Structure 1
Amino acid sequence: MIDSTALLASFTIANWARSGPLQSSPILFAVSALIFYFIIAGDRHAYSAESLRRASVAVRRSIQSLTWAMGVALLIVFFTKTSTAFPRLTIGAGSVGAFFLMATMRYYFVRNLERAIGGNPFQSLLIVDGDARKPNSPFTSVIQADRRLDPNLNAPELYGHMAASARSADRIVVACPPERRAAWARVLKGADIQGEIYMPELSVFKPLGMENVRGETSLIVAAGPLNLMERSIKRAFDLSVAVTMIILLSPILLMTAIAIKVESPGPVLFRQKRFGRGNEMFSVLKFRSMYVDSSDHSGNRSTARDDRRVTRVGRFIRRTSIDELPQLFNVLIGNMSIVGPRPHAAGSRAENKLFWEVDRRYWERHTAKPGLTGLAQIRGFRGATERERDLLDRLDSDLEYLQGWTIWSDIKIVILTIKVVLHRNAF
């Protein structure tokens, strides 16, 4: 209902705003896209229990499904040579509105679901076998396994009692001793419900799931923060923003290059090796802000306030973040993104410790392309890392961004970055 309303309302409003009296072709396009959307959304589990529990999952899966649905509808229009019958501006405005409205409505629906229906819509059952350690998370009901719920009892009575105990549950979790897990797994496989074995010793790995290949099971501990579709959407956003900014800011880029060349001899651009995606090193581009003989290519020494290595032009472009603008070309090349964790040099330190010596989670921030701006930057975590806390604040923000990425978070960060371009920590 929510998805249908978002899609049809967006195209209806766009149709009315563009041409006054409603035309049938945009509505026909919306209905076609909606049919494909429901098929794709069902396949991508956009209506699963997980999508109703987590707003970020609900938004991500709906946007992915809508992207594919719009693509299929456009392909049909193209191959049937009926594109002239569909007003492009109306279709474009309706599509943009549908993405925004669907994401917004899904987000607030999931966030307020429990309040709307007066309680948790999902019923969970915990079965405790013996004196096994129990999970800390709350359950709708908890029962103690007795002789009627003995997993080694291979009889109809066991499965009948199991079915009666879990009649209203959406999920069963069993906490049992390790030697009884295989038996409980067999019992759960016979129940028409999601069954889980609680294994607290695996928590240290923070697993993402399990993989089973030819009967061999392994624990998935890493998968990268973005899938192929999400990377494609993010790349399209990066290219559109980078090209637009290079065109709009070309006078500033040209004037800055001339000013640097006039003030001191040497190249206009400064290149430094920094950590990129997958911990691979790449050359980041910046406008040169220091005298050539004082440039720090390794990043061992952070820039200090009133640093004599910095030129007069350099002081201004660092304070206004103009020195970072050449990284737009890094985005075009493909080794950076508009939004992401800022790239660091290998020699960067906090309280005389290399960054990865401060916190071993540091390497996890490199699971995505580094960015021109990021969540840490709009929160004010910028400038020199004089204390370990300076790095930890940025690291926490970077990991939070990666774990909860959506294209809307990128758009929001870009908008908020405008407010912090002039920042007190730049020198």
Structure 2
Amino acid sequence: MNKVETTDRFATEAGRTQAERREQAVLSPVALQVAQQYRRDTMSPVIVSGVMRLVEFAVLLLSGLQIYAGYVGLGGELSWEYPLVITGVSLLAVILLEVLDAYQMPALRNPLSQAGRIFLTWSAAFALLIVGLFFLKVSAQFSRFWLGTWYAAGLLLMLILRLAAARLIRRWARNGRIERRAVIVGGGKNAETLIRAIEQQPYNDIRICGIFDDRDDTRSPPVVAGYPKLGNIDELIAFARIARIDMLIVSLPISAEARVLSLLRKLWVLPIDIRLSAHANQLRFRPHAYSYIGSVPMLDIFDRPINDWDSVAKRAFDIVFSLLGIIVFSPIMLATAIAIKLDSKGPVIFKQKRHGFNNEVIEVYKFRSMYVEHSDPTARKPVTKGDPRVTRVGRFIRKTSIDELPQFFNALFGSLSLVGPRPHAVAAEAHNRLFYEVVDGYFARHRVKPGVTGWAQINGWRGELDTEEKIRKRIEYDLYYIENWSLLFDLKILFLTPIRLLDTRNAY
């Protein structure tokens, strides 16, 4: 069963009353206090090691260019060959260090143990350079002083950089700035064995924040391996909404299939990695089927949809295209603001509370399209065709979606993404039922940031959600987008949006 099929299955089987209870669960004072301690975001080890690659490459490149400019001089013979060689050797050194796992967190934390690898790698890169220059019969044209000086300087700079990075990483680890926060799901002996195994891993970056288990204290002890049981699985959902948890580790045997599936039906709506501990299972798969915390094997059940460098790329995408959108549409936005001001009294911009990433409440900007006295910040009553609350200008800007243009600023500031599931109002209803009461697994759409435009909108599910079928279809397309996200997919949606906006049948 692939990941999309698994997601669809859990979405179908999750209960509405369970969803409502989870989102409204009240944490115990202890659990709430622990959750508040972990509200601050952490730096991903993947991002830290990636930045280290870029910094090391830049240091080697710039040192080689500076020595070349200072000794050989710019604009002389081989004016393009020197920069090409410097770039190639710097890149080769970083690639070789990557092959030798020198950018993994244990290696970065203990630079002295990597001194031999750094020396051999840098020497190998220069040896390959010298061999290449010899066979190309151009070695005599390159300065030997430059070659020797860059070799010594590069080696020294890498060692200094590694020592400085190790000191910084250790400080971040002490301060809780660089760690992966995990919650253990399931207690008892299995959880204790798992915790002991994780704690024994050298240079461990896992911070266990607590244990959650549906069983009472007679079947599951209130404290396991020194960690308190903070609540049941329903309370875990509320806990994870507050704390910045990275990973849920289910410490149940695979043989307990019914209980594992029951847990996953509840937990899959969270925007975090979900792992099934495999360290105590008798059933063994091939090594590549596992991910590992140190040497502790895990089975990957769900991954955070957009994580690490993907999140960096998507944020850069949002900033670039949001700025471009603001520049291109600024005349239209200015004209709209003037028209609104002339048409009816009140502010130009209307702020509405909507559900954002991880179910957090955000404020979304829109051009005001209703009379001030009839404004509905909670959107409890949807706008219908011929709605008397809508102004003359409001009818036009809603029909053309011009009222949504201020959301480019939301995307620029980070509360929205340019592309994603459209943010629904916190009190939106259909036939007096809240959306999460209509659609099983509704909250799974909040595993990514909501968007100014989305896959559902360009497939015709735009505008009024007046029937349960429309709500279900929109969520279906939202979940498809989350499971199949890529920058190219975002680009496709972004460029199809103006074309799809020509269809105004459902826009009132």
Q: Counterparts in 2 of 1:228-267, with a 5 A limit?
A: 228-267=308-347
Match of 1:365 among 445, 453, 456: 445
User: Does residue 281 of the first structure (1) align with residue 361 of the second (2)?
Assistant: yes
Paired with 2:453 and 2:330, the residues of 1 have a C-alpha distance of 19
User: Does residue 379 of the first structure (1) align with residue 488 of the second (2)?
Assistant: no
How far residue 350 of structure 1 moved from its aligned partner, in angstroms, is 2.2
The aligned counterpart of 2:133 is none
* Alignment size in residue pairs: 256
How far residue 423 of structure 1 moved from its aligned partner, in angstroms, is 2.6
Q: Counterparts in 2 of 1:85-100, with a 5 A limit?
A: none
SS of 2:441's equivalent in the other structure is helix
Question: One-letter code of the match for 1:367?
Answer: R
Distance change in 2, residues 1:30/1:377 (3 Å)? farther
How far residue 209 of structure 1 moved from its aligned partner, in angstroms, is 2.8
Paired with 2:349 and 2:301, the residues of 1 have a C-alpha distance of 40
Question: One-letter code of the match for 2:447?
Answer: T
Higher relative contact order (CA 8 A, sep 6+): 2
Paired with 2:415 and 2:374, the residues of 1 have a C-alpha distance of 27
Of the structure 1 ranges 218-227 and 375-384, higher mean CA displacement relative to structure 2 is found in 218-227
User: Does residue 405 of the first structure (1) align with residue 471 of the second (2)?
Assistant: no
SS of 2:462's equivalent in the other structure is coil
Distance change in 2, residues 1:289/1:30 (3 Å)? farther
The aligned counterpart of 1:210 is 276
CA deviation map 1:348-407 (0-9, x unaligned): 112321000012311111111110011101111011111111011110111111112111
Question: One-letter code of the match for 1:416?
Answer: L
User: What TM-score do the two structures reach when normalised by structure 2?
Assistant: 0.46
Q: Counterparts in 2 of 1:18-167, with a 5 A limit?
A: none
Distance change in 2, residues 1:392/1:30 (3 Å)? farther
Identity %: 44
SS of 1:309's equivalent in the other structure is coil
The aligned counterpart of 2:507 is 426
Gaps of 5+ in 2: 1-79, 102-149, 151-252, 269-273, 280-292
CA deviation map 1:67-96 (0-9, x unaligned): xxxxxxxxxxxxx9xxxxxxxxxxxxxxxx
Distance change in 2, residues 1:326/1:34 (3 Å)? farther
Paired with 2:470 and 2:480, the residues of 1 have a C-alpha distance of 16
Q: Is the 8 A contact 1:275 1:281 kept in 2?
A: yes
The aligned counterpart of 1:305 is 385
Distance change in 2, residues 1:357/1:315 (3 Å)? same
Distance change in 2, residues 1:301/1:33 (3 Å)? farther
Distance change in 2, residues 1:401/1:28 (3 Å)? farther
Q: Is the 8 A contact 2:275 2:302 kept in 1?
A: no
How far residue 224 of structure 1 moved from its aligned partner, in angstroms, is 2.8
Match of 1:355 among 435, 439, 442: 435
Gaps of 5+ in 1: 1-22, 44-79, 81-195
Paired with 2:404 and 2:99, the residues of 1 have a C-alpha distance of 40
Question: One-letter code of the match for 2:437?
Answer: E
The aligned counterpart of 1:338 is 418
Distance change in 2, residues 1:388/1:261 (3 Å)? same
How far residue 219 of structure 1 moved from its aligned partner, in angstroms, is 8.1
Paired with 2:361 and 2:86, the residues of 1 have a C-alpha distance of 50
SS of 1:301's equivalent in the other structure is coil
SS of 1:384's equivalent in the other structure is coil
Question: One-letter code of the match for 1:342?
Answer: R
Of the structure 1 ranges 32-41 and 233-242, higher mean CA displacement relative to structure 2 is found in 32-41
Paired with 1:378 and 1:222, the residues of 2 have a C-alpha distance of 27
Question: One-letter code of the match for 1:265?
Answer: K
Q: Is the 8 A contact 1:378 1:416 kept in 2?
A: yes
Q: Which runs of 4+ in 1 moved over 4 A?
A: 23-43, 196-200, 211-223
Paired with 2:355 and 2:383, the residues of 1 have a C-alpha distance of 19
The aligned counterpart of 1:296 is 376
Match of 2:306 among 226, 245, 261: 226
Paired with 1:38 and 1:403, the residues of 2 have a C-alpha distance of 34
Question: One-letter code of the match for 1:426?
Answer: A
Paired with 1:214 and 1:405, the residues of 2 have a C-alpha distance of 29
Paired with 2:423 and 2:381, the residues of 1 have a C-alpha distance of 16
User: What TM-score do the two structures reach when normalised by structure 1?
Assistant: 0.54
